[in-house]
Structure 1
Amino acid sequence: MKQLVMVILFFLQVPLVWAQQGKRYIKKGNELYQQQKFKEAEESYRKSFGRKDQPLEGNFNLGDALYKQKKFPEAAQKFKQIAESAKGNKTVASQAYHNLGNSYLENQKLEEGIEAYKKALINNPNDDATRYNLAYAQEKLKKQQQQDKQNKDKNDKNKDQQNKDKQQNKDKNDNKDKNKDDKDKDKQNKGDDKKDDKGGEKPQPDKLSKEDAQRMLDALNNNEKQTQDKLKNKKFKGGKGRTTKDW
């Protein structure tokens, strides 16, 4: 994290007493910052602000104190404000954009961080620290995009498999219903075969009892015997003789 230490030129209309008091708050804030008392340093930097004007050094270091407290959105807002207002001061703009990129990176806003690092390099192309952070953020974004793609492909595959399983279960249930309907239909057809046209039960040959079969067999034997007896009692009748006539 870059901390700005520079001489602040105050406008002439700012009371000299307040300017001196603001410097004292900034100095005190820097001491607290070095002691890693970042919250107290934040409070001291804020006290360095006048009613309207905010000293650049105190404003910049306030962003650092917010960053150290992991208040990344607030720190990003502060550094962005400084970078955009640093007209003509490429050194301040470069450092502000560098810290802005760090704040975005810590807040998992990789694309915004990359853009901030690029703007820092535009203002200071020789800043190796910014160039390193830019390469790191780009590589991290690349891996994140690859992971997101893998997760998406996995989710799509799982979704397709779920749809496939759902369709298979549906087909299986449909086949069960069809087999059940076929069985019910066969059962109904078998029941209809046992009924005659009047709705009564049809005689079932294969259901003939043993006693009925024996009676039928005895009846057939008796009929055959009676027929043979009748044939025996009949006399043989020959053909008619030819009438002859004497001439």
Structure 2
Amino acid sequence: MQIIFIVCAAAFSLNSFAQQTQAQQKEIKAAQHFMSEAQQALQKDKFAIAEADYRQAISLNPKNETAKYNLGTAYYGKEKNAEAMLRFKQAAATADSKAEKHKAFHNLGNTYMNEKKYTEAVESYKNALRNNPNDDETRYNLALAKDMLEKNPPPPQDKNDENKDKNEDKKDQENKDQENKDNKNNEGDKGDEKEDKDKGDQQEDKKEGDNEKDQGKPDKSKDEEGDKPQQQQPVPGQLSPQQVKSLLEAMNNEEKKTQEKINAEKQKGTKVQSDKDW
């Protein structure tokens, strides 16, 4: 049963692909029909009908470079330069062969020359020669465009409104540069905040250090008290100066009494034993 299911699914996929292919083939044939009708309309000078037919052909087959190129040529013949420029750009982007790219870039250069956009004309002719280096007409047009560009250099602040791709690329680059600048400024701001924080921490540390230093100093009241003479406090186990003085006076008095007694005994001729034991 599983094998049958896979086979059925594969058959359905092939059938769907075949239907899509058939639908695409019908659209391609219809596009070719509209292109043929547009060509006949141009020969009869029915430009509006030709323009509509070419648009239908491009809508049915967007990959068709020929319809875009032919419509660009039709616009160019009617001096609708902006419309022709757009179609030649599309043709150059869609073209697969070098011959088709060469024709699209060559005519695109011609539209830029009509608009006096010589810088873009030079670039278009260069692209045309990259795809066909042997085309003398393109080489001549390139030399003419360079000469006109040298004689008429673009102003420094010249902006081409129709050159949307270059303007958008320039704007995107400016936005990227601005984003990078903002990121750098944000990083700078963070660095400044960090630096300010470090400075604040250093000031705080310095303040704390000063407070600790101030704590080691005596207060003003203590300094004033230190200017006053301090009374000597007695030390336990030691005699005070007053006590020592009293003791010495007592010893001197006792010795004086003893000496007087000895002198008195000598006068009597009697030897007197001294009571002094120190």
The TM-score, its normalising length taken from structure 2, stands at 0.44
Of structures 1 and 2, the one scoring higher in RCO (CA 8 A, sep 6+) is 1
User: Which structure features the higher share of helix residues?
Assistant: 2
The TM-score, its normalising length taken from structure 1, stands at 0.49
